[in-house]
Chain A
């Protein structure tokens, strides 16, 4: 029998809506019709499983994973670490976390990025890791720079790291962005401000974590991620029928 337990419904008023006129690209890329809500089936409560055979040990070290031998990426060396939990506060072990980001100057290693800030020859800008048995993950990287983008004529993205998280189910699939405590661009950003609730925005801002800092080496930021939780099946299981 299938293990029971639907996921808690996603709070669509906590997440950004599809259409936000100040984030211009969303105007033509947002459905006009309402989403159709599905009760979970096996198609939603399952999802891909990853293991250590899928990634390499150094994939979570962006300072060195694209650097030439003996060299390293330029910029403020940081550790980004935290836990992946569900809404019940349970850790999500062995789940895939992937990140990507610009370099210290705000330039992406991408053929479509034409910003005049230079590429760092020793920085790729992507990393991946699996959470451990306690749902804990960590990366080492350089702090990304802010960069301009064509929205309003003078829009600048705050420094951010994109993050993709899987969980155990396709229903938990999430992509988000991690911002850094104290950045004055956060409050100005149309993409940040697609999120209506200030408390939800706060959840995307990683605080400085001096306790995790490696003295004389790397400063640390903490970023915990919460994926959807599942209900316990107390009296019935109507997922597959009884």
Chain B
């Protein structure tokens, strides 16, 4: 017998269930309880960079929009700095880089306003293309799904991105690219997430 390893095991995940809004977005569940709900303002008023909106659907394996999803967003600021003590450099006052949105109960559409992030360091001295990290939970999803949103108009940076290039199936890489539209001077990126089947979005084990 060898010595025993005394690492603890991670607490197992469970689905967030159909009523995740009660805990994480009670206003959407239909009641007002907290002084402030968290996650509505990702970038804050002082953030530098291009103001953008990101919108999309989450679509299940039958092609139907999923209407009870909660998504969380984690991103760097326009200079590529995360609002975290382990990332050197300062972010603008009020920039949190984190947000939380839910899908519309009737349509399944979700969206958030933020600033376009800058490139961030990769491993071994590489540079990662600008991207937004997403985490998706819902009824029927047993462990939250991680994915990344990249930007269509960053083709050169995307072509050199170490994570995109890790996906050996080149035709799957485009599932991570949000499409840019400009309407009335407002920049909107469209990012539909397909949980299953044709054009299934790439999900990561991070």
Known contacts A124-B33, A240-B125, A241-B124; is-contact A38 B166 (Cβ 8 Å): yes
| A71: interface (CB < 8 Å) | no
List residues of chain A with CB within 8 A of the CB of B22.
100-101, 108-110, 124-126
CB-based A-B contact count at 8 angstroms: 282
Known contacts A10-B10, A100-B23; is-contact A37 B30 (Cβ 8 Å): no
Known contacts A87-B9, A175-B14; is-contact A164 B24 (Cβ 8 Å): yes
List residues of chain B with CB within 8 A of the CB of A128.
23, 34
| B45: interface (CB < 8 Å) | no
Known contacts A18-B141, A204-B14, A240-B125; is-contact A126 B202 (Cβ 8 Å): no
Interface residues on A, range: 35 or more
A201 to chain B, nearest CB (A): 8
| A45: interface (CB < 8 Å) | yes
| Complex CA–CA separation, A13 to B201 (angstroms) | 22
| Complex CA–CA separation, A48 to B24 (angstroms) | 15
List residues of chain B with CB within 8 A of the CB of A49.
83-85, 96
Q: Nearest residue in B to A33 (C-beta to C-beta)?
A: B200
Q: Nearest residue in B to A239 (C-beta to C-beta)?
A: B123
**Cβ–Cβ contact A191 & B15, under 8 A:** yes
B105 interface neighbour in A3, A112, A204, A241, Cβ under 8 Å = A112
| Complex CA–CA separation, A43 to B133 (angstroms) | 7
List residues of chain A with CB within 8 A of the CB of B195.
28-31
A240 interface neighbour in B38, B83, B123, B144, Cβ under 8 Å = B123
Q: Nearest residue in B to A53 (C-beta to C-beta)?
A: B36
A12 interface neighbour in B17, B138, B205, Cβ under 8 Å = B205
Known contacts A16-B143, A38-B163, A113-B19; is-contact A28 B203 (Cβ 8 Å): no
| B140: interface (CB < 8 Å) | yes
| A155: interface (CB < 8 Å) | no
List residues of chain B with CB within 8 A of the CB of A110.
18-19, 21-22, 29-30
List residues of chain B with CB within 8 A of the CB of A41.
120-123, 128, 163
**Cβ–Cβ contact B9 & A200, under 8 A:** yes
**Cβ–Cβ contact B205 & A229, under 8 A:** no
**Cβ–Cβ contact A25 & B74, under 8 A:** no
* A17-48 with Cβ < 8 A to chain B: 17-18, 20, 23, 25-33, 35-48
A92 to chain B, nearest CB (A): 12
* Stretch with Cβ within 8 A of A (4 or more), from B59-67, B152-160, B182-190: B59-67
List residues of chain A with CB within 8 A of the CB of B137.
175
**Cβ–Cβ contact A126 & B33, under 8 A:** yes
| A228: interface (CB < 8 Å) | yes
A112 interface neighbour in B19, B60, B84, B121, Cβ under 8 Å = B19
| A134: interface (CB < 8 Å) | no
| B170: interface (CB < 8 Å) | no
**Cβ–Cβ contact B12 & A43, under 8 A:** no
**Cβ–Cβ contact A54 & B38, under 8 A:** yes
| Complex CA–CA separation, A102 to B137 (angstroms) | 19
A56 to chain B, nearest CB (A): 5
**Cβ–Cβ contact A36 & B19, under 8 A:** no
**Cβ–Cβ contact A111 & B30, under 8 A:** yes
**Cβ–Cβ contact B202 & A36, under 8 A:** yes
B24 interface neighbour in A30, A31, A98, Cβ under 8 Å = A98
| Complex CA–CA separation, A59 to B35 (angstroms) | 9
Q: Nearest residue in A to B42 (C-beta to C-beta)?
A: A48
B17 interface neighbour in A85, A162, A200, A225, Cβ under 8 Å = A162
Contact with A along B1-31 (1 / 0, CB 8 A): 0000011111111111111111110100111
* B81-95 with Cβ < 8 A to chain A: 82-88
Other contacts beyond A11-B10, A55-B34: 20, CB < 8 A = A15-B12, A15-B13, A27-B61, A28-B62, A28-B195, A30-B142, A32-B61, A32-B200, A36-B202, A38-B206, A39-B123, A42-B87, A43-B131, A49-B84, A49-B96, A59-B34, A89-B7, A170-B74, A175-B144, A194-B15
12 contacts between A and B (CB under 8 A): A35-B203, A38-B163, A41-B122, A43-B74, A54-B36, A89-B7, A98-B23, A98-B24, A111-B105, A168-B84, A175-B15, A175-B16
List 6 tightest A-B contacts by C-beta distance, closest first.
A100-B23, A25-B140, A241-B125, A48-B98, A29-B140, A46-B84
